[in-house]
Structure formats: structure tokens, C-alpha cells
Copies of this chain bind each other. A is one copy, B any other.
Amino acid sequence: MTRVQDVYPDNRVSLREVGLRDGLQLVKTFPSTSAKQRWIRDEYGAGVRHFEVGSFLPAKTFPQFADVREIIATIAALPGAHGVALALNERGVNEALASGVAEIATVVSATEEHSQANANRSRESAIANVKRLCDLRDASAHKPIVNAAISMALGCSITGAVDPKEVLKLVDKCLEAGVDFVAIADTVGYAGPKQVGELTKAAVKLSGAKPVCVHLHDTRGMGIANASAALDAGARILDGSLGGLGGCPFAPGATGNVVFEDLAFLCESKGFATGIDIDKLIAVRSILRSEMPGETLYGGLARAGLPGGAAAHAPA
């Protein structure tokens, strides 16, 4: 059994590359399997160890994740690398368990309105799904890590403001259901650092010895500031995507996840060693550029290079 502290030690920050899943959720074109594999191997070479690699959603609707099993195998072959796959229902969970993926992520909407509109189920039914996932995990041979993300936790595309008490109730229920940790997701990038800090602090307290992940989108340019607040509040797992790849279905033209390389710089600047070589990480952007020429890549480090360093000063 993989213990969550082995994968996400509580004395350091773990940065997860979620570009291969969340970043590809909305793209017009997506990389070939071999390009995804180069993306992973090159980031691994830069020191990245945590990857969200895809989801077990119907391949007809999400062809970008049809190769999820191959990508999981790619990660499994890299010593110390950790792969995460998303599964939203029991069919997906069973496929994820059968794939041998090291971690299964699932989602509960923070608001009843979004849960019904987006997943066609109540929050209660989503929590039951989390419980079922944990039971199946317990019955499995390799017992993957399970995490539940509370989507729209800091603002909802339907209701607007979200009551943090409601979110914390869901966090509690997910922990009770047996997840290894909970992720707080600002799915539509509504929040500022004060709100992120306060909710993260409460979630950290509720989680006890379990880590807390904060999953941020840079929709309104607050991504890095929010990540900084999340770190200050005790989050030790943060998600990002290379070049901020991805978008937001509820804000056309908006950026995606927090820029991974800027996130690494933020952590280092705050004294959290990430083990990531930022120059090498920036170089991986070339794979995304050639595979998805229509996607805008963001990021300050890629433009300006490391302070006083010999990093590329060319716009990228």
C-alpha cells in the first residue's frame, strides 16, 4: 500500500503537473501519445515527480485521454514518479483501479446547483461516489491513493459566491469517506489570496495529518498570489500546468491552471525546495508549442528567465 506521506511528504511542497489532464480538457488539438511521453520524461528530467495524466471519461467525448493507460505505464516506468488519473463515476473508478494508476482523483461540486448542472447528481450522491471509490480502493490489491477535489470551492460559475462552511462540510464528509486527502479547487479563478488563505487554513485544520492540495486557475491573474496564500496557510500540494495550459469553460479566452514554472519559482522564493530545475522546465514548453500551436502559453519565467541567470531571454 502506498502511504500518502511517502508520495507527498509533509515537510516539503509537492508540485503536480496537471497539464496532461486539466490542461488538455479544452484544447482544440492535443499531443500525440509519444509527445505526451516526451513531455513527461523531459519534466521528469527537470525534477518533476507528480503528474495528473488523464481521466477515465468516455474516450468518445474526450479522445485526448484515450491513451490514459499508456501514459500511466510511462509514469510507472520512471523511478519515483507518481501518476494521478481522474475518475468521476463507478465505471471510471473500476477502469482506474484496473489500470494500476497510483492515485485516483475524483470531484465533488461545492454547490448543489453546479453539481446538478455539471454532473447531473446531488452533492450527496457525489459523496456516496467518493465513499464507493474508497471502498473499492480498500478492496483492491494495490490500494491507490484517493483524493477528492471540491470544485468551485472558492466561487461558482452558477451561484457566484460560495459559503466556506458548505465547502468545509464537504471536506469533512470526504475525509470521513476515507480519502487520503482533499483538494480545494478554485475552478473558475474567482478568488483572491485572502479567501484562499482562510479556506485553506480551515481545510488544513480539518485534515489533521492528511495533506491538503490547492488547485488554482489563473483566470483573473491571481493564481500565483493565491498559491502563495495557500502555502502560507499550510497547503503542501499545489497543482499547475506548464505554460498555464488550459482554459476555463465558463470564461472564454481565460487562462488555465497556474503557470507551473512560475509556481516553482514562487515556492523556491519562499524557501520551499521543489527539486525542480526551472530552466529545464521552461525548455519543455517547446513540446507544447509544436504540438499545440493554437494554444497560448503564459508565464513570467519563460519570458524573463531566472533573475540574474543565464536563462533564455527570448520571448517564449
The chain A residues found within 8 Å of chain B, CB to CB, are 155, 157, 160, 188-195, 218-222, 224-225, 227-229, 248, 251-255, 259, 262, 265-266, 268-271, 298-301, 303-305, 307-308, 313-315
Contacts and interface: CB of A to CB of B under 8 A. Distances in A.
B219 A300 contact: yes
Contacts of A218: 300
Copies of this chain: 2
A235 to B, nearest CB: 14
Contacts of A251: 303-305, 313
A160 B307 contact: yes
Contact of A227 (B225, B262, B304, B314): B225
A301 to B, nearest CB: 5
A160 B308 contact: yes
Secondary structure of the A side of the interface? Answer: loop
Nearest to A221: B300
14 contacts: A155-B308, A160-B308, A189-B307, A193-B228, A220-B307, A221-B262, A221-B301, A222-B262, A222-B269, A251-B304, A251-B305, A253-B313, A253-B314, A255-B300
B265 A192 contact: yes
B253 A315 contact: yes
Nearest to A268: B192
Contact of A271 (B155, B194, B259): B194
A155 B305 CA distance: 14
A304 B220 contact: yes
A195 B298 CA distance: 24
Given A188-B307, A190-B308, A305-B251, A221 B271 contact: no
